[in-house]
Structure 1
């Protein structure tokens, strides 16, 4: 996905998107050509139930 805006706006967008999606990307900001602001590129995916930082309990291993 491409996010575009001011650096502060992109920071907020990433935080909001990270609540729902697992995000991957370099975090690099590029100057927009022909318009104000900057842009960045991220890959977003919906995490499945196994994409957790907490260990699974025995009943969750099914």
Structure 2
């Protein structure tokens, strides 16, 4: 099962949320933060997938500091 996610908010809060989501999901995406137009904060786009048993020990999160 795979879903596309858009996170929007304060950059520091997004970084914390990505770390929390990475506990459960395998996350893919560019990790780029985009400035919101017409609203405060930034946004990023991620793909989340429930990892298989053998993938659970190899967690990787997108680097949001690029």
Higher radius of gyration, 1 or 2:
1
Q: Which TM-score applies when normalising by structure 2?
A: 0.75
Q: With CA pairs under 8 Å and 6+ residues apart, which has the higher RCO, 1 or 2?
A: 2
RMSD: 1.4
Task: Give the unaligned 5+ runs of structure 1.
Answer: 55-62
Counterparts of 1:43-58 in structure 2, within 5 Å, are 43-53=47-57
Q: Does 1:3 align with 2:10?
A: no
Task: Give the unaligned 5+ runs of structure 2.
Answer: 59-66
TM superposition outliers: structure 1 runs of 4+ over 3 Å: none
Distance in 2 of aligned mates of 1:16 and 1:3: 13
Aligned length: 54
Counterparts of 1:2-41 in structure 2, within 5 Å, are 2-41=6-45
Distance in 1 of aligned mates of 2:47 and 2:56: 18
